[in-house]
A and B are shown apart, each in its own frame.
Chain A
Amino acid sequence: MSDDIRVFDDSSGSDESGTGPDARLVEEELRAAFARYEPLAPDAGPLRAAIDRRVVRRRQRRRVAQVAGVALAMLGVLAVPTFGRTVGVPPVPELAAPPPLAARSAGPAAPLDFLVLGVDGGDGRSNGHRADTVLLVHVPADRSRLYLVSLPRDLGVEVPGHGFGKLASAFYLGSHRPGSRPDLAGGTMLTERTVTALTGIRFDATATLTYAGLRQLTDALGGVRVCLPRQVRSHHTARVFPAGCHRLDGAAAQDLLRQRYHLDQGAHDRDRNGQRFVEALLHEVTDPANGFNPVRVAEIVGALGRNLVLSLHGTTPLELFGTLRTVAAADAVGIGWTYHPDRGPGGGIESLDPAQSRSLFEAFGRDTLAEWVDRHPERVTP
């Protein structure tokens, strides 16, 4: 290290006066100190395992974040083409709807709450529509995060005007019109009111997509490539989806997303497959190789017709889209439940821990989900 000496000579200062120790002595003391402290190094074994555990958790969180962005982007993509024509339902009279986003844009940003519904039975064969997917999305005023809460379809709830039932059935009760076509806007409205009655949350917008809509969308995109971690066997058709990646057409995609009976965790695994599908679908839409532009997407979505319902409470789709675009990149926090399956007479009704769910829903209203998550780290989807 002859270099070192030259460097050392470069340094100016009073310590060169000769009263200080030799440069080499300092260097030797340094080397000796480092050598003495080597045994302080902790054992690599346990650390290795800790790293692996942390990686697994981080990967899962990343996936949740992607799904959240996708769900919101989808809401935005779906909202744009409806600009100029009125889709959806009038505001619910007995609920004071939040003012339109535009009216609030003057001051600091307000927190936003969205409800996303996926409904089955759009094929006309089954007995009406039920909401299989019920997803609450909270965007705090500071836009720092997105918070996602999925409500289980089999959650036992009080449906306004209809008594106790499963959450999924609220859509049926609201949309069923004996002797005529189901009223999807009615189903959307009643489900929204049910969730509001349960949680106290008033939604700035609600989007509903049927399985038929999903099928059309998939075919219009030329199929969607979905990757499954393990085989799924259809309960409804002869289809078997092996583990691995497949390009699915609309009918196959719909078939896959209906399956919950042969999955380890039933509807919860189906929710995961749904997230995989939506993720793949958005990938398809945004992939430059596919050459989709907003006009083409607008055409596709316009063709969905009644299979898409938007309830916007006076917000214009363009405002909604603008807002969503700014928040879609934010980090998402998934909040999960401890499920309590009760085998009631109706079969498989689930309930939420009242104490825990109350504080969670209050945190939605007060825009204090960040603090809530700090207090309940165990509830954050790993």
Chain B
Amino acid sequence: MSVTYEEFADSRLTALLRYAVMLTGDPHLAQDLVQETMVRVQLNWRRVARADAPERYVRRMLTNQYLDWQRGSWVRRVLLRAEPDEAVVVRPDHAETTVDRDQVWTWLSRLPRRQRAALVLRYYEDLPDAEIAEVLGCAVGTVRSAISRALATLRAEFVEV
């Protein structure tokens, strides 16, 4: 009845990679993030498989990894790779009145990680708030306020453009 690690990786690895791309905004970081998580998943597979829903359990592991990553290696990697973002921020010649499509991506990268994760879980993974709360390990109310703050920030950016 319970799935093996191989079956799980066969069916879920691609989806996890996409989720990680949405969280990090960078394919390399996404790959690192998924790799680190999946190594731990495989080493502890028995415990993972015992969870009610292994998929949700792993998504939670990956999200925690992403949130914790900011200290240490994460910061270094972001600083090394994300310099172009800074350039985008100060570029003054945005003549278009419509929002530049990649602009949304840049704004996302400036959100606090927890807010970004909440946005990804709702608008990319289409999860109900209760499940988002479970993934982020917080109350439903906290999820809602995080999302509303994130959306407010994004709207303000739209206004400026």
Contact call B35/A26, Cβ cutoff below 8 A: no
Whether A7 sits at the interface, judged by CB under 8 Å, is yes
Contact call A11/B42, Cβ cutoff below 8 A: no
Min CB gap A24→B, angstroms: 11
Whether A3 sits at the interface, judged by CB under 8 Å, is yes
Knowing A4-B122, A8-B148, A11-B148, the reply to whether A29 touches B104 (Cβ < 8 A) is yes
What is the count of residue pairs linking A and B with beta-carbon distances less than 8 angstroms? 109
Stretch at the interface among A51-59, A237-245, A281-289: A51-59
Min CB gap A44→B, angstroms: 4
Contact pattern, A 1-34, Cβ under 8 Å of B = 1, otherwise 0: 1011001101101010001110101110111111
Contact call B39/A30, Cβ cutoff below 8 A: no
Q: Measured between alpha carbons, how far is A32 from B105 in the docked complex, in Å?
A: 11
A41 in complex: contacting residue of B17, B38, B105, B123, CB < 8 Å: B17
- Which residues in chain B, 111-137, are within 8 Å of chain A measured between CB atoms? 119-120, 122-124, 128-129
Whether B21 sits at the interface, judged by CB under 8 Å, is yes
Q: How many residues on B have C-beta within 8 angstroms of the other chain's C-beta atoms? A: 42
- Residues of the B chain whose Cβ atoms lie less than 8 Å from the Cβ of A343: none
Q: How many residues on A have C-beta within 8 angstroms of the other chain's C-beta atoms? A: 38
Whether B159 sits at the interface, judged by CB under 8 Å, is yes
Whether A42 sits at the interface, judged by CB under 8 Å, is yes
Whether B158 sits at the interface, judged by CB under 8 Å, is yes
Contact call B101/A36, Cβ cutoff below 8 A: yes
B21 in complex: contacting residue of A19, A29, A40, CB < 8 Å: A40
Interface residue SS majority, chain A = helix
Contact call B17/A44, Cβ cutoff below 8 A: yes
Whether B58 sits at the interface, judged by CB under 8 Å, is no
Whether B108 sits at the interface, judged by CB under 8 Å, is yes
- Residues of the A chain whose Cβ atoms lie less than 8 Å from the Cβ of B159: 15, 19-21
- Residues of the A chain whose Cβ atoms lie less than 8 Å from the Cβ of B144: 7, 10
- Which residues in chain A, 39-95, are within 8 Å of chain B measured between CB atoms? 40-42, 44, 47-48, 50-52, 54-55, 58-59
Contact call B155/A51, Cβ cutoff below 8 A: no
Whether A142 sits at the interface, judged by CB under 8 Å, is no
Contact call B101/A58, Cβ cutoff below 8 A: no
Q: Which residue, of B105, B148, B156, has the highest number of chain A Cβ atoms within 10 A?
A: B148
- Which residues in chain B, 1-36, are within 8 Å of chain A measured between CB atoms? 9, 13-14, 17-18, 20-22, 25, 27, 30-31, 34-35
- In the complex, besides A27-B151, A41-B30, 4 extra interface pairs with C-beta distance below 8 angstroms are A13-B156, A20-B155, A47-B31, A54-B35
Q: Which residues of A contact B (CB under 8 A)?
A: 1, 3-4, 7-8, 10-11, 13, 15, 19-21, 23, 25-27, 29-34, 36-38, 40-42, 44, 47-48, 50-52, 54-55, 58-59
